[in-house]
Chains A and B, each alone.
Chain A
Amino acid sequence: MEENTIKVGNYVIIQRQNYTKLQKMKENCTVTLGKDVIDIDAVLGHRYDETFRMVLKSGTKRTYMLEEVSQLTLTNNTQVEESGIDNRDIIDDGKSQTLSKSEIENLRDRALSSGDIVQKLVENSRTFNSKTEYSQEKYLKKKEKKYFEYIQVRKPSIRLLAQMFYRQDPNKTLGIRLDDLSQLLTYANVHSDGHYLLYDSGTSGLVAASILNSIGHDTRGHLVHMHPGNECQKSALQAMHFPDEQQRRCINVNLYSVLRCYHQNDIPELTTETDTAKRKQTEEDTQQRKKPTWQYENERACRILREQVDGLIIVAKEHPVNVTKELIAFLKGDRCVVVFSLVREPLQDLYFHLKERTDFVSINLSSNFMRSYQVLPERTHPEVSMNFGGYILTAYKLIKLTC
C-alpha cells in the first residue's frame, strides 16, 4: 500500500469534478482552483483517490481546508415540487433569479454546502418550477458543478497528464492530443526492449514520459531524449515518479551539444553501463566523474546512437525536415520514424524528402477525427464541442546493402 500513500515530494493531480491540476506535495501547501485557495496539507498520509471536502477557514473568504469524507453530504436532495411540460412560457429576461450576485457570494462565504446553495438558488428562482423536468435537472447539475466542494487527489498517469495538459492549454504540449500521443507510441513500436530516440521541442515532458512509461521498469530499453534548450522540459517526467533505475534510462541531452559530441569527440568505450562497481576502479572513471553531468550524459547518448535505435520520434515546433534528416542516420534499418506536427504542410515537405531518398518505404501521412459522446438514457448524442488533433507521418527505413 506504500505506493498509494500521498507523501511530501510526490506530484499529485488535484481534481475537482472535471477540473484537474498538477501539484507537488510540500509541507504547508496550498493550491488555487479558480478563486478558491485550498490548504491541502490534510491529504498527506492519505491514499490516492480519497475524497476531501473543502471547509471554509474561519475568518477568511474562499480559503479552505480539507476534511476527509467518508460519506458525501449528498447534494441531489434539492426539492423539486413542480415541473412544466415544455418551455413555451419561459422568458429569459435575466430576472428569473431574485438573489443578487453578492447575495450568492455571501452564501458561499458562509460556507454553505453546494447542496444548500443550490436549494437557495432554486427557492429564489421565479422560473424553476415552470421549467421542464429535463431543464430542471440540467439547471441543478450546472449549479452543483459551480459550487462543488469536493476534491480528490489522483496519482498521475500518462492518460491523466495528457488530458490535463490538453484541457489547460494544448500549446503546452505542442497541440498533441491523446489519440496523437497514443499513435506515436504504437507506430514507433515503443516497448520494453528497444532503444528509442526522441526529439521534442516542448511537450512539457509528456512524450518522453510516455515513451519511458512504455519502456517500463526493470527492462533493458533506453530513451535518448533530445531537446533544444538548456534544460529539458520535464513536468510529466517528474509527475510520473518513475523508479530511479527507470528514470536513468531516459537520457536527456541538448540537441546541438550531443550532436557536436557525436561528430567531434572521441567517445570513451564503456564495458557495460550497469557495471558501476567495476567502473569505479578504473582510471577512466575517475576522469568520468570529474566531467559535468551533461557531458557524461552526452557520451551515454552517443554510445546508444552509435549502435543505432529501434524507433525515432520527432515532435518539433521547428520545421521537421532538417532535424529528421539528421536524426534518421541513427535509426536502424527495418525500423520506423514517426513525426508529429500540428500543421500538415511541413510533413508534406518531409514526405517528398523521404520519397526522394529511396531508402524509406510505406511513407504515410494521417490525421484523426475524434469525438466524445454523452451517453444518457434517451439523451445520447455527440458532445457539442470537439477539437482537432495534428498530423502524423510514419515511414520504415530500409537497409542499404552495399553491393
Chain B
Amino acid sequence: MSFRSFKSTIDEGDTVILYLTIHQIYSVKAEVKTLSKKGVLIDNVFQTQYGALKCGDLIGQKYGTKIQLSKGWGYVLQPTPELWTLTLPHRTQIIYTPDISMIILQLELAPGSIVIESGTGSGSLSHAFIRSVKPHGHLHTFDFHEQRVQTVEEEFKDHGLIEWVTVKKRDVCSEGFGSELEHRADAVFLDLPHPWLAVPHSKLALKETGGRICSFSPCIEQVQKTCLILLKLGFHEIQTIEIIQTQYSIQTRSIGVLNLDFVKVKKCEDSQEKQEKEILRTVTAVPPTTQPGHTGFLTFATLPPIWARTLAQENNDLCTDCV
C-alpha cells in the first residue's frame, strides 16, 4: 500500500525501494515469506553486492533510513512513481521520467482529470498518471494482452491505487474505449504500434469541451501517420518533440599542465629535472560515455471545444507550419 500516500514506517506488504548506489536501485517487498518460481513458500531474501537482505526485517523500519547488510549497507525509501519506473519488473518497453514529466504537463493533468491510456504495458506511466489525477480523478487504462492486464491490476491493488484506476483488456484500435467513456476524458495517451488507428476513438472519448492527446512512438513513420489523421480529424496545435536526458557525474579532475617556457632558455644541468609538475584541479560534470540517444517522439495535439471545432480545422489548414 506504500504508493497511496506519504507514510513514515514500513508496514508488512509494502513495496520498498532499496537504494545502494546511483546505478544499483531495486524494489523489494517487506514480507517474511515469498513464493518461489515453483510456487513454494520460501524465505524472502534479496541478494545484493553488499550481502543478503532479509526483507521481513524491513517491517517496522522507517523510510529514509540506513539499513545494515551483511557486507555493507543500503537505504530504504518509500516508492514514488519515479523510483518505481527505475525498479519495476519490465514486461514491455517502458516510458521513463523525462518523457513522463512532459506528457503529464502537456496533457494538462491535475487532480480531478479523467485520463485514458493504452497500452498499459508495464504500468510505468500509469503510476505517474494516477498520482496526478487522484484523489478525485481517474485513469482508464487498456491493453490487449491478457497477462499484462492481470499483472498490472494486481500491482495497482497491491500498491493501494486501485480506487483511481480501471484496467481493461481490449484491442483499442479495433474496439475503441467503449461507449461508457464517450465524451468523458480530459486527455488520451497512446503508446501503441499503430496509434493512428486509435485516434478516431480518442476523439470520441474526449470531452465536448475539448481535451489533449499525446502519442508516444519510437518511429518517425508512426508519427507521420498519426499527425495526418490528427489534422484530418480537426485537432490543432499538433506538435512533435523529443527529449533526451543526460545525467552527469560530478568529478574533480586533476590535469597536468605543460610548461614549455624552459625550451626558450639554455639547458642548465641541475635545475631542470627537479621542476615540480604543475597540476590544475578542476570540477566538471561528465556525461556518461554512452546513453540512450532516442526514446520516442512525443506528438501532442488539442481537440478544441465543440463550439470551436470546424473553425479550428480551417485554421489548421491555414497554418500547417505550426504542425
Asked if B283 is at the interface (CB within 8 A of a chain A CB), the reply is: yes
Distance A377 CA – B229 CA, assembled complex (angstroms): 12
**What count of chain B residues pass the 8 Å CB interface test?**
74
Asked if A193 is at the interface (CB within 8 A of a chain B CB), the reply is: yes
Asked if A75 is at the interface (CB within 8 A of a chain B CB), the reply is: yes
| Nearest-Cβ distance from residue B63 to partner chain A, whole angstroms | 4
Binding site of B, secondary structure by majority: helix, strand, loop or mixed?
A: mixed
B243 with A216: CB separation less than 8 A: no
B105 with A159: CB separation less than 8 A: yes
Q: Which residues of A contact B77 (CB under 8 A)?
A: 334, 396
B311 with A72: CB separation less than 8 A: yes
Known: A179-B101, A217-B111. A192 touches B22 (CB 8 A): no
Asked if B199 is at the interface (CB within 8 A of a chain A CB), the reply is: no
| B305 and chain A: residue at smallest CB distance | A49
A47 with B307: CB separation less than 8 A: yes
Stretch of B78-86, B143-151, B167-175, B265-273 at the chain-chain interface: B78-86
Q: What range describes how many residues of A lie at the interface?
A: 35 or more
Asked if A27 is at the interface (CB within 8 A of a chain B CB), the reply is: no
Q: Which residues of A contact B132 (CB under 8 A)?
A: 191, 214
Question: Which of A71, A72, A361, A375 gathers the greatest number of chain B CB atoms within 10 Å?
Answer: A375
A76 with B242: CB separation less than 8 A: no
Chain A positions 37 through 51: 1 when the CB is less than 8 Å from some CB of chain B, otherwise 0: 000000000011111
Chain B positions 244 through 278: 1 when the CB is less than 8 Å from some CB of chain A, otherwise 0: 11111010000000000000000000000000000
Chain B positions 297 through 323: 1 when the CB is less than 8 Å from some CB of chain A, otherwise 0: 101000011011001101101111111
Asked if A296 is at the interface (CB within 8 A of a chain B CB), the reply is: no
Q: A157's contact among B108, B220, B224, by CB below 8 Å, is which?
A: B108
| Nearest-Cβ distance from residue A93 to partner chain B, whole angstroms | 26
Known: A141-B319, A361-B75. A217 touches B247 (CB 8 A): no
Q: B323's contact among A361, A366, A376, by CB below 8 Å, is which?
A: A376
B319 with A370: CB separation less than 8 A: no
Distance A217 CA – B305 CA, assembled complex (angstroms): 22
Asked if B62 is at the interface (CB within 8 A of a chain A CB), the reply is: yes
Q: Which parts of B103-128 form the interface with A (CB within 8 Å)? A: 104-106, 108, 110-112, 128
5 A-B pairs with least C-beta separation: A216-B111, A334-B64, A182-B101, A333-B64, A182-B105
Could you show 27 A-B contacts with beta carbons less than 8 Å apart?
A: A17-B319, A47-B305, A47-B307, A49-B210, A49-B308, A51-B315, A74-B317, A141-B319, A141-B320, A141-B321, A144-B319, A150-B315, A186-B81, A186-B128, A189-B81, A191-B111, A191-B131, A210-B105, A217-B111, A219-B111, A333-B62, A334-B62, A373-B241, A374-B323, A380-B224, A398-B64, A399-B62
Q: A141-B319, A189-B81, A348-B250 are in contact. List 15 more A-B contacts (CB 8 A).
A: A17-B319, A49-B307, A49-B308, A187-B82, A193-B5, A214-B132, A333-B64, A334-B8, A352-B250, A361-B75, A368-B245, A369-B243, A377-B228, A380-B220, A398-B75
B residues within 8 Å of A by Cβ? 5-6, 8, 19, 22, 25, 62-66, 75, 77-78, 80-82, 97-98, 100-102, 104-106, 108, 110-112, 128, 131-132, 134-136, 209-210, 220, 223-224, 227-228, 238-248, 250, 283-285, 297, 299, 304-305, 307-308, 311-312, 314-315, 317-323
A residues within 8 Å of B by Cβ? 4, 17-18, 47-51, 69-72, 74-76, 141, 144-145, 148, 150, 152, 157-159, 162, 178-179, 181-183, 185-187, 189, 191-194, 210, 213-219, 310, 332-336, 344-345, 348, 351-352, 361-362, 364-377, 380, 396-399, 401
